[in-house]
Structure 1
Amino acid sequence: MSWDIKMLFRRHALDIARSLKRNGLSEDAAADITQDTFVRVLAKPPAATTGTHNPKAYLYKISRNLRINQQKRERLIETVDIESDAAQNLADPAPSPEAVVYSRQCLAQTHQALAELPERTRRAFEMHRLGERTLNEVAQELEISTTRAWMLIRDAYKHLLARVGEF
């Protein structure tokens, strides 16, 4: 019998998986080990031997060894099944210390960059961006045209991007 992997897979994969399931593995674990068996043969085919060689026996031997290795790993590692809702509660929703420091640095840079702006430009930007006012409302309060209000806000954005980067 030759080592035609496609033919061997078609002929023996289902039987190997069934054998693994009979030995206590779940369907997914049996499928994984069956696949690993053939990957192992693809990666390192058996050495040429003298006499008759039985590929089926060789595949079963590999799958049995992989099953034993997996069971040894499972005995070493304690696993606990948790529900998906419980798993979400395990993650800390608070930002990491690094993220907090980075955010504070960005905020300080932004505050400094805003302080560097001319008074009218800063007020127009703060009214529009922080006060959520429209360009028309900013223009009316500062007693300038809507186009001039837009230009002031645009200049503030350009300055902030140049000093702080994208935010």
Structure 2
Amino acid sequence: MLDLFFDQRHRLIGLAARITGCRSQAEDIVHDAYMKVGGAGGDEQIRSQASYLARVVRNLSIDHYRRRQLEERLMCSEDEEGESLAHPSETPESLVADQQMLERITGVLADMPERTRYAFEMCRIHGMKQKDIATALGVSPALVNALIRDAMLRCREVL
């Protein structure tokens, strides 16, 4: 697997860079993918290791991109708005609508059971892995997955 990784490294970085828009983040993602795949073992069970490695890089890149977009939307405070890149198409009405939507989601999160809210925030906002959340909560990864899914469904109902 190590030889394959070195042979495909530039192609994988290019794949990740196209999705994330940043070469340095792409290099980090490729490294994470290798650590994930290399730590999994079982090389003989994977029919096409190159395709598998590319799929892992693609999925990690998409996760990273989505997490970054969510963080940018949720974490941008009013003080930072002047410094951040403002979209010229943003109107006062759309800003108010976005603020109202954020307030509704915040209300939904506040009404959730603490364990559900913690699992959702750690996974979707802070990027923690579900198995790490399960360890922190002392529950199974399957339950963490169900908690996150429940939180997502509640947020979608509000939207």
Relative to the length of structure 2, the TM-score reads: 0.44
> Which structure has greater helix proportion?
2
Which structure has the bigger radius of gyration? 1
Q: TM-score, normalised by structure 1?
A: 0.42
